[in-house]
Amino acid sequence: MAKLLDDVVGEFSRLPGIGRRTALRLAMHLLRMEEHDVELMSRAILRFRTDIRYCSCCNNLSDSDKCEICSDPTRDHSLVCVVEQVKDVLSIEQTRQYNGVYHVLGGVISPMQGIGPSDLKIDLLLDRIARGEVQEVVLALSTTVEGETTSFYIARRIHEYGNVKLTSIARGIGFGDELDYADELTIAHALHNRRPL
Amino acid sequence: MAKLLDDVVGEFSRLPGIGRRTALRLAMHLLRMEEHDVELMSRAILRFRTDIRYCSCCNNLSDSDKCEICSDPTRDHSLVCVVEQVKDVLSIEQTRQYNGVYHVLGGVISPMQGIGPSDLKIDLLLDRIARGEVQEVVLALSTTVEGETTSFYIARRIHEYGNVKLTSIARGIGFGDELDYADELTIAHALHNRRPL
pLDDT band at B56 (very low <50, low <70, confident <90, very high): very high
Q: Compute the nearest-CA separation of A61 from chain B (Å).
A: 6
Cβ contacts of A62 on chain B, cutoff 8 Å = 2
Please name the residues between 84 and 113 in chain B that touch chain A, using a CB distance below 8 Å. 85-87, 90, 93
Domain B3-51 sits in CATH at 1.10.8.420
In chain A, CATH 3.40.1360.10 covers 73-168
Q: Is the pLDDT of residue A179 over 90?
A: no
Q: Tell me if chain A has a CB within 8 Å of the CB of B17.
A: yes
Q: Tell me if chain A has a CB within 8 Å of the CB of B155.
A: no
Q: How confident is the model over B66-89, as a mean pLDDT?
A: 95
Look at A42 and B39 and tell me if their CB atoms are within 8 Å.
no
pLDDT band at A107 (very low <50, low <70, confident <90, very high): very high
Q: Tell me if chain B has a CB within 8 Å of the CB of A115.
A: no
Nearest to A83 by CA among A65, A57, A101: A101
How many percent of chain B have pLDDT more than 70? Answer: 100
**Third-level CATH fold of A73-168:** Dna Topoisomerase Vi A Subunit; Chain: A, domain 2 (3.40.1360)
In chain A, CATH 1.10.8.420 covers 3-51
Look at A61 and B2 and tell me if their CB atoms are within 8 Å.
yes
Q: What is the number of CB-based contacts under 8 A between chain A and chain B?
A: 142
Nearest to A49 by CA among B155, B30, B176, B59: B30
A64-73, B5-14, B89-98: range with lowest mean pLDDT: B89-98
Q: Compute the nearest-CA separation of A191 from chain B (Å).
A: 32
In chain B, CATH 3.40.1360.10 covers 72-168
Look at A46 and B42 and tell me if their CB atoms are within 8 Å.
yes
Residue to substitute from A31, A46, A68, interface B, most B β-carbons within 10 A = A46
Residue to substitute from A11, A24, A45, interface B, most B β-carbons within 10 A = A45
In this complex, the residue of B25, B42, B61 whose CB is nearest that of residue A42 is B42
- Using alpha carbons only, what angle is made at residue B142 by residues B140 and B148, rounded to the nearest 5 degrees? 90
Alpha-carbon span B120 to B123, nearest angstrom: 8
CA gyration radius for chain B? 21
In chain A, whose CA is at the least distance from the CA of B37? A11
Average model confidence (pLDDT) across chain B? 92
Q: Tell me if chain B has a CB within 8 Å of the CB of A33.
A: yes
- Number of C-alpha atoms within 13 angstroms, CB side, residue B113? 9
Amino acid sitting at position A66:
K
Q: Is the pLDDT of residue A167 over 80?
A: yes
How many percent of chain A have pLDDT more than 70? Answer: 100
Q: Tell me if chain B has a CB within 8 Å of the CB of A13.
A: no
**pLDDT, position B15:** 96
Between strands A61-62 and A53-54, the pairing is antiparallel
Look at A41 and B11 and tell me if their CB atoms are within 8 Å.
yes
- One CATH from 2.70.98.70, 3.20.20.450, 3.40.1360.10, 1.10.4100.10 for B72-168: 3.40.1360.10
Burial of B31 (0-12, 13-18, 19+ CB in 10 A): middle
